[in-house]
Structure 1
Amino acid sequence: MWPSPLLLVLLLPWSPAPGMEDAAFPHLGESSQPTPRACPPRCSCPQPDTVDCGGLDLQVFPDNITRAAQYLSLQNNQLQELPYNELSRLDSLRTLNLYNNLISSEGLPDEAFESLTQLQHIYVAHNKLSVAPQFLPRSLRVVDLAANQVTEIFPLTFGEKPELRSVYLHNNQLSNAGLPPDAFHGSEAVVTLSLSGNQLSYVPPSLPPSLERLHLQDNLISKVPRGALSRQTHLRELYLQHNQLTDSGLDATTFRSLSSSAPRWNLQLVSQHHSLTPSPKICLALTLVAQPDARPLSPASKLHCLEYLDLSYNQLAMVPTGLPRTLAVLHLGRNRIQRVEVARLHGARGLRYLLLQHNQLGTTGLPAGALRPLQGLHTLHLYSNGLDRVPPMLPRRLQALVLPHNHVATLGAHDLAATPGLAELNLAYNRLASARVHHWAFCPLRALRSLNLAGNQLTRLPGSLPSGLHTLQLQRNQLRALEPEPLAGLDQLRELSLAHNRLRVGDIGPGTWHELQALQVLDLSHNELSFVPPDLPEALEELHLQGNRIILIGPEAFLSTPCLRALFLRANRLHMTSIAPEAFLGLLHLRVVDTEGNPEHVLVQLPPTAPRHPRAGGP
């Protein structure tokens, strides 16, 4: 059973190298106790069953290790071999950590493991193994051989291990020939297998049927053979990005077995969106929470469905067919997809996150209604395609539409009416001009909280902005004037970016800031301001004025902003005495004043009670 909530972070696979699982070294880091007498020189033995010799630059296996040791750490040393006699006598070992040494296959004697009948965790990542050990104990639960030079696996390396749960083999040199068909025979409990960063040319057959997470990214895979995944009915996450898959390498049966009955899940997006510059990045964390009407699972229950599929960075020209109806996240970015056909998404009705960035979707790439079957779609990523308009008839429940770096030049009055629940809309770096943005274009979006229009060709603020906006980004446009009317009613706006425009103080109409009662961050950097604009919002905490033409800051410049914490004035035209001594009086929260990059060293006079952290100048 999955716990609720369960946090899944969609990142590259991580090897639980040294010290990494709490169960592996339960005593390390606890309060120090008297070192037992039978402890190797320079090592630490915080408990009678724990020996920590990590990070000592050891070149020889330490002697005097107690036979009662259950947890032995030798990570981050320079060991080249393990002596058979020393290792084989440690028959109580449960965890052996050899991470980051120089151990070769010749220096890791297979016969030494025969007596280690209680060993559960072995970490040999970041060594010099060329082949995997031919024999490992039946008792193992976790095996980490990542980041070696392994070219061959043997039947009893991972076979006949009824307790084995996790195997990490990423960043080796494995080809399909080096992975025998019976590599996991008798190991029916493996849930995590990482084979990423190898030289596999097709998905290996005879993988453990118990798998829940399979990492195959960064290989040379051009084909998923028919039936290769037919036994993986428990698979929840499948990573195939950065391969050589084409449409002919997949067929309608490839994912057919990866879907069966499962509880309904609600995926809530916790996102960190970096500034969408020409190379936007996205980091997603998905919180899966069972919906209220989902029947609780018993502790012994298992989910039988594929929920995450990553096919990005391949050579697909079409969306694959036969997608499981349980799929929640589908990543197809960085392919060659030119058109999305409605029939190919018909089976994936449960999809919540669809990522299609950096494809070749043009004017007809998303025909009207192509995504309508995805009634539960939460987030749609389409940046860096060739779309010239917002796709029509999008799913009504869509909450995030990410469409920067396209060719969108027009927003009509009804273009966004199909998605009234949008909370995030990103149209940055398109071709929008004020004359082609209808005054009512954003009016239907009553739930909108974040609007990004950066990098377009706007000369004035758009009209009828939703009153619930929290973030409005208009940097890198051609704004020449600010009037109070477009900002009226935005009493929840917290962050406003107007950087890299053509604003002058005289072009900012009286009362422009009046209704922005919640504004905390205002970015006016890289404009044509000659002094600090008056009557700024009272709640303002962070003010960016760098890269303007400011020559003088008078004593009343910040009277309206008593909550100011950070002020950025670098790269203006300030001189030694440009700032009036009284300018910062009353700014008791001011922490940072940045005046670097001006013609002269600027004298900064902070209030006596404020902490003194000016970046340039001081009293």
Structure 2
Amino acid sequence: MRTVVLLLIMGIVDLSIGQRYSQFHWLSHLRARRQHAGWQAEDVDCPLECDCPSTFPTAMYCHSRNLQHVPYVPSHIKYVYLQRNQITGIQDGVFNNATNLVWVVLFHNQLNSDKIGKNVFSKLKNLDRLLLDHNELTRVPPNLPKSITDLRLGHNKISKILPNSFEGMADLTTLQLQANLIEDIGGVFKGLKSLTMLDMRKNKLRKIPDNLPERLHQLYLEFNNIESVPAGFLTMYPKLQFFRLAHNKLTDKGLPSGVFNISTLVELDLSFNKLEKIPVVSRNLENLYLQANKIKEFSLSSFCSTIDMTNFSKLRMLRLDANEISARDIPAEAAYCLRRVAFIDV
């Protein structure tokens, strides 16, 4: 009889532990109890759904587990991997126990904007990378930490970005918004002083975004509905080296004279547009992609205004295939002007 009473007491004690903690704390408690019982476990404080290997004590791996919720995250964890699951929402407070998180990886889930709490990420003051691409988001999550440097929101259903979506995020260097439904971006990028890479491919932009950060190094705008480039556009971004405008609706009329004749530009992609002439480019340009346009002549003056032994283009790659010209249209003088070119595809 005393044995039965003792067992009941022990059961009540365990039950009280389960009531004091959340469901996910309870799973962690079970894991710890399992280890004390002699089970072979690599980690002590880790939810049953995940792995926290001793070789990477601050990482929690929960990817590809068919999870429908974010599990309890122990306080010592800095890197949590939750990609390729079936998570639809994140409630406020989920990460409150792990405010030292540096990476949160949630790509390839089913996240819905209406099911994400307004302050889910707000307490993560050390968050550096937030990967939310390949989900069902219709807007940028609110109250994002100002510490983020890498934010990935590509392959969602975002159609509009509120003016304060990136407010105060002065450390953000990489922003991926490709494959969404964005038509106009307004001036939401104005305060992103550290932004060097912006990816807005496969949206519905009708013009190049305004008020881009001056430090921008890479700008990807392929697969949009852009018809023109503003005069003096590249002079406002002296650090821009990689500019891609392929698969848009550019015409010669939409390109002001000399708009690409900027010495800092290294790569320019204007392929799959409606250009009939080769635009004038800087001699410092190294890669130029013009395939699949309507170009009818090879104008050497687009690359060299004068041709001599000291003035020549630094171009290494030139693609002109799928246009209305052939190799016979390239003048002999091109050998002097384009002496560094390793490949011309006509």
- Normalising by structure 1, report the TM-score: 0.47
1:224 aligns with 2:90: yes
Pick from 59, 67, 75 the counterpart of residue 209 of structure 1: 75
C-alpha displacement of 1:491: 2.2
Question: Any residues of structure 2 matched to 1:257-272 within 5 Å, and which?
Answer: 257-259=123-125
Distance 1:255 1:329 in 2: 14
1:197 aligns with 2:64: yes
Aligned position for 1:455: 272
1:480 aligns with 2:299: no
Distance 1:366 1:490, change over 3 A: farther
SS of the residue corresponding to residue 348 of structure 1 reads coil
C-alpha displacement of 1:306: 1.3
Distance 1:505 1:347, change over 3 A: closer
1:350 aligns with 2:157: no
Distance 1:235 1:376 in 2: 22
The root-mean-square deviation of aligned C-alpha atoms, in Å, is 2.8
SS of the residue corresponding to residue 288 of structure 2 reads strand
- Bigger Rg over Cα: 1
Distance 1:508 1:179 in 2: 63
Aligned position for 2:255: 437
Aligned position for 1:155: 31
- Percent identical residues: 27
Question: Any residues of structure 2 matched to 1:243-262 within 5 Å, and which?
Answer: 243-259=109-125
C-alpha displacement of 1:343: 0.6
Tell me if the contact between 1:231 and 1:257 (Cα under 8 Å) persists in the aligned partners. Answer: no
User: Which structure is higher in RCO with an 8 Å CA cutoff and minimum separation 6?
Assistant: 2
Aligned position for 2:6: none
Distance 1:179 1:451, change over 3 A: closer
Q: Deviations over 1:43-86 (max 9, x none)?
A: xxxxxxxxxxxxxxxxxxxxxxxxxxxxxxxxxxxxxxxxxxxx
Distance 1:157 1:400 in 2: 51
Aligned position for 2:185: 366
Pick from 270, 277, 285 the counterpart of residue 469 of structure 1: 285
Tell me if the contact between 1:167 and 1:190 (Cα under 8 Å) persists in the aligned partners. Answer: no
Q: Deviations over 1:226-256 (max 9, x none)?
A: 1111122332211111112122222332112
Distance 2:134 2:238 in 1: 32
Query: Structure 2: any 5+ residue segments left out of the alignment?
Result: 1-27, 305-310
Q: Deviations over 1:587-606 (max 9, x none)?
A: xxxxxxxxxxxxxxxxxxxx
Question: Any residues of structure 2 matched to 1:489-568 within 5 Å, and which?
Answer: 491-524=313-346
Tell me if the contact between 1:167 and 1:193 (Cα under 8 Å) persists in the aligned partners. Answer: no
1:399 aligns with 2:217: yes
Distance 1:388 1:353, change over 3 A: same
Distance 1:332 1:230, change over 3 A: same
Distance 1:490 1:499, change over 3 A: farther
SS of the residue corresponding to residue 234 of structure 2 reads coil
Distance 1:507 1:519, change over 3 A: closer
Question: Any residues of structure 2 matched to 1:10-89 within 5 Å, and which?
Answer: none
Question: Any residues of structure 2 matched to 1:304-323 within 5 Å, and which?
Answer: 305-323=126-144
C-alpha displacement of 1:397: 0.7
Aligned position for 1:334: 155
Pick from 263, 271, 281 the counterpart of residue 446 of structure 1: 263
Distance 1:322 1:158 in 2: 39
Aligned position for 2:13: none
Q: Alignment length, in residue pairs? A: 308
Pick from 403, 417, 422 the counterpart of residue 240 of structure 2: 422
Tell me if the contact between 1:256 and 1:322 (Cα under 8 Å) persists in the aligned partners. Answer: yes
1:383 aligns with 2:204: no
Distance 2:170 2:34 in 1: 37
Tell me if the contact between 1:455 and 1:474 (Cα under 8 Å) persists in the aligned partners. Answer: yes
C-alpha displacement of 1:487: 1.0
- Normalising by structure 2, report the TM-score: 0.81
Tell me if the contact between 1:167 and 1:192 (Cα under 8 Å) persists in the aligned partners. Answer: no
Aligned position for 1:76: none
Aligned position for 1:85: none
| Paired AA for residue 311 in structure 1 | L
Query: Structure 1: any 5+ residue segments left out of the alignment?
Result: 1-151, 169-175, 260-304, 525-619
Distance 1:413 1:166, change over 3 A: farther
Distance 2:297 2:43 in 1: 63
